[in-house]
Amino acid sequence: MATGATTRTKALMQAIELRWLVFLVALVCAFWALAELADEVVEGSTRNLDRDILLALRTPGDPGDPIGPGWIEEMGRDLTALGGVAVLTLATGLVALYFLMRHRISSMLFLLSAVGGGIVLSGIAKEFFDRPRPELVPHGSIVHTASFPSGHSMMAAVAYLSLGVLIARVQPQRRLKIFILATAVLLTLLVGVSRVYLGVHWPTDVLAGWLAGAAWAAICFGAAQALARRGRIEPDGCDPD
């Protein structure tokens, strides 16, 4: 009996070690890709690609008209709002309230710290790179800040992926975890695509926002797992009334 328990413990530890190894490799790859992309943008190597993609989303001969009927452009504005400050603040606040009602205080504080930290990082990155917005096409949404990285894309990744991870941790069923995380990824992608479609960001701005946001969300996920092991945050599947 003791031998069987020892074998299961060893197998569990090996699985945990493998999961952390995969996590660290993915995180390093994300940071490497972000660094390479930022370097290419600073050097101007992505200028032609950015221009070609942006113009491909416009009616030939009329850069002021996005491709597709008018309702698609209106839908683009609706989708881009999902990455705006008001929507993300509301979503984060509601989930934080949910954790509070479930007496998951540590998860609530962790969520607020993760999203708040992402906002600070996004602002610092914009000030550092100070890339001008696209002037090749008219803007379909009002913008005030610098272009790189896309704040909407980065904050959508930070907020929705962090929310998705923390909510998924509560769910005991794997299919619910997958559904929640897939929804978070889908929302993140839609926000980024809408920014390029509306002409307020270069495609590389959005890609950088996705990479930075996903990397930050991954760091927060790793921290949540580590804290859960030490009993400082509620463990997976724990959802007390």
| Residues that are catalytic | 152, 201
β-sheet bridge partners, residue 66: 58
Residue 85 structure tokens:
């400050």
> What span, in angstroms and rounded, lies between the C-alpha atoms of 111 and 66?
37
61 class by beta-carbon count within 10 Å (0-12 exposed, 13-18 middle, 19+ buried): exposed
* In contact, 23 and 214? CB cutoff 8 Å: no
Dihedral of CA atoms 156, 157, 163, 164 in degrees, nearest 10, equals: 120
Helix axis angle for 105-129 and 2-43, nearest 10°, is 20
